A and B are shown apart, each in its own frame.
Chain A
Amino acid sequence: MKLNFSENHKLLFSVVFFGFIALSILIAIIPAIEVNSNDPMCGVNTLTPAEFRGLNTYVSEGCLYCHTQQVRPLQLDKVFGRPSSPLDYSYLTPLDQIRMTPAVLGSERTGPDLSNIGNRQPSEIWHHIHLYNPRSVVKSSIMQAYPWLYEIKENPDSNDLVIPVPDEYAPKNGKVVATQKAKDLVAYLLFLKQKPIEGISQIEESTSKNLSGSDAGAQLFNTNCASCHQQNGEGISKTFPPLKNSATVNSDNPDKHIRTVLFGLKGEAINGIVYPAEMPPQKDNLTNEQIAEIINYERSSWGNNGKKITADDVRKIRAEGK
């Protein structure tokens, strides 16, 4: 037989077929095996059964088509946390006998990255309100609403997790109650906390080096606080308290303000209203400098006029503890 590709079909198509297999082994299978077994966090980074069911819903509802879980080592990704490490994904295995390992890294960021959402937005209630209808907490969101993860009950009993959906979006009659599916999905979202990894600092020293003063404060506020208190500082009536004209924010003694941001707040009446959701603590999520920037931003925005503070004030209260 002649070694002539265009006249010898056996030769041509063997080279095409086996050559491609060889290339595929080199470029896909070997590197895949290499990262596949790279798994020392096993045991630390595993899902509870509820979180695992939540991951299932995350996949079947296709959340990953709009949300990435992949923080790149780039300045513009710093708002979402530290750069992702291979270890962050060590919990991922096939979903069941038929389905395969989910592709949570994603390829499009129509919505924000969720690698660290459990730290950035730790409030369970907020997640439920948001899933029931995203526009009730983020006015210009275009995210899909998931009302079928909730039931409407006339008389919820004491075991039911009632979701305080703002009036404008709430059903006419009855209360919104989370189903098990909704609870599981939120459990998975809250699992998404970047775990400490040696060599990669958990909290970035300053979000953006090129931003200073109120710019940095505004950015930090918008990233970490605005989903509840809103960008205009007005909160959401009966669901999340306003910061505009708030006594705590305008008070000359900032201790209460700092303490609330650091350690969170729960069940306390503010201006006579007890809010159903709790304010999540930020102490593990933000540095003293960042918290000072946020607090100063809050104290000088929307007509507020509170005394400015420094990172040292935050440090002091952090040391005192709750």
Chain B
Amino acid sequence: MAVERPIAPGKVKIDDLINEDDRLTKLIYSYLVSATAWLIFGSLVGLYLAIRFIYPDFGVAQWLSFGRLRPIHTNVVFWGWTSLAMIALALYVIPRTSQRPLFSIALARKALYVINASILIGVIYLFMGYNNGGQEYREFIWPAMMLFALGIISHTLNFYKTISLRGTKEIYISNWYILAAFLWTIVVVVIAYIPWYQNALGETVIQGYYMHMGVGMWFTPLVLGLTYYFLPLLLNKPIYSYSLGVLAFWTQMVFYSLIGAHHFVFAPIPWWLQTVAIVFSIGMVITLTAGTGNFLLTMKGSFRKVARSYSLPFILVGVIFYFLASAQGSLEALREFNQLWHFTNYTIAHSHLTMYGFVVFLIWGGIYALLPRLTGKEPSHLLIGIHFWFALLGLLIYGFALMIGGTMQGKSWIEGLPFIHSVELMIPYWIWRAVGGTFMFTSHIIFAYNLYKMKPLPHPHKQIDLAGEQI
């Protein structure tokens, strides 16, 4: 394979087109369009927030206020972008690995409307200052979140039916993770929105649980499940070890459930709860090693393929961040490190290294793996390369700036310097964060354009001619 351009070295074209039901292809595409619209909006808000740290008076209007936009940023990228994009991929993976058509396309189409409505309503209320109570990622009032739950429940039924009618004997490991994520999330949302035990510190206990189950029982298993499908597909070989995947699955369920309280280390909630959380946060290293090891061993010997594909680099980055950033989380849970890093910008670095470096990169890998095969249309390899490098570079700048800055913040408090010192010292790091954010945001625009280039044809699979070789 000749190297055509240095930035996207001769990526091979795909030619194993999948003959899918047009309706499913269109449905998946419309999920991705909604998701990407939310990504552009949500990360534009993120970028604006990043600039507000440097120019606090940049745009003084009530609805542009930092405290209103911040929950809009987090909820939109969580429930709008990341969730819808993962559901889009799951809509393909579950029927495919179950060797059965999706139980009901109509139901899945309705769920898209319901979820979009949920986010729209939640966001409008947040703009108006009607915030559920400032509990992170729970800021949508219950009527909005109920719609989201409704969407999730209908997908659960749809997927469960598809899996139970499967044409294979075994349930493929992807489907363990994906359907489990849906089931767990229903439980999490219901527990989080029942008010009876949430007065005073009851709220705090539930918030720790909710915050971590959001990332640990929704995004993490769902995106891992997708990767258990896309990685072997792209490498054209089976996953290294099925049983490692199963081990990671069960430890994920048991350990992750118990670690929510590590968001409130040293808070006045029961000490035993914090200790359990810390112990199992360290236990998570088992899950991480099993999961990451499995992926890396699957890739072993195929790294030339990774370099020549345009979707595998995203997946490789995602897998590496899964390991490193989650291990970082385990460190943050230790009382010694928590003392230094808790309440600082180090946490913000961790949130983005995980949610972005791990979850979002794996999603992009999946999208670039799937859509060209479904629609027969490929975006320019150069633009995918730019998307990849801008996103990665931006994230690294963002992450390192805030890890260094956050550590200095923590040290300044420990040294007992006046509080304002910790604000002043952050300015250069916040500037770097905005620079990284600009790269990230630019990459999202390019991604949106690439998505447009992969739009399904009105009459798919007729006369498409994909040059290139088999990967």
Interface residues of A (CB under 8 A from B): 5-7, 9-10, 12-13, 16-17, 19-21, 23-24, 27-29, 31-36, 38-39, 59-66, 68, 70, 72-76, 79, 83-86, 88-95, 98-112, 133-135, 138, 140-148, 208, 211, 219, 222-223, 226, 231
Contact = CB atoms under 8 A, between A and B. Distances in A.
B380 to A, nearest CB: 40
A170 to B, nearest CB: 15
A103 B134 contact: yes
Contacts of A31: 205, 269-270, 273
Interface in B155-209: 160, 163-164, 166, 169-171, 173, 176, 179-180, 183-184, 187-188, 191, 193, 195, 197-207, 209
Given A24-B257, A35-B270, 10 more contacts: A29-B197, A36-B197, A91-B200, A100-B193, A101-B203, A105-B267, A107-B347, A108-B343, A148-B62, A208-B416
Given A61-B68, A101-B133, A86 B201 contact: yes
Contact of A59 (B52, B134, B202, B260): B134
14 contacts: A7-B169, A23-B254, A24-B191, A35-B201, A60-B67, A74-B339, A94-B133, A99-B141, A100-B203, A101-B133, A101-B198, A107-B343, A144-B66, A223-B419
Contacts of B171: 5-7, 9, 12
B180 A28 contact: no
Contacts of B343: 68, 106-109
Contacts of B193: 100
Chain B interface mostly? helix
A109 B53 CA distance: 14
A64 B205 CA distance: 17
Closest 8 CB pairs of A and B: A62-B67, A36-B202, A60-B129, A72-B266, A109-B343, A222-B418, A28-B209, A102-B133
Contact of B57 (A34, A36, A145): A145
B467 interface: no
B257 A23 contact: yes
A34 B270 contact: yes
Given A21-B187, A62-B131, A92-B203, A9 B416 contact: no
A65 B164 CA distance: 44
A146 to B, nearest CB: 8
Contact of A86 (B56, B176, B268): B268
Contacts of A5: 171, 176, 246
Given A27-B276, A74-B266, A223-B419, A101 B199 contact: yes
Given A21-B187, A31-B273, A76 B133 contact: no
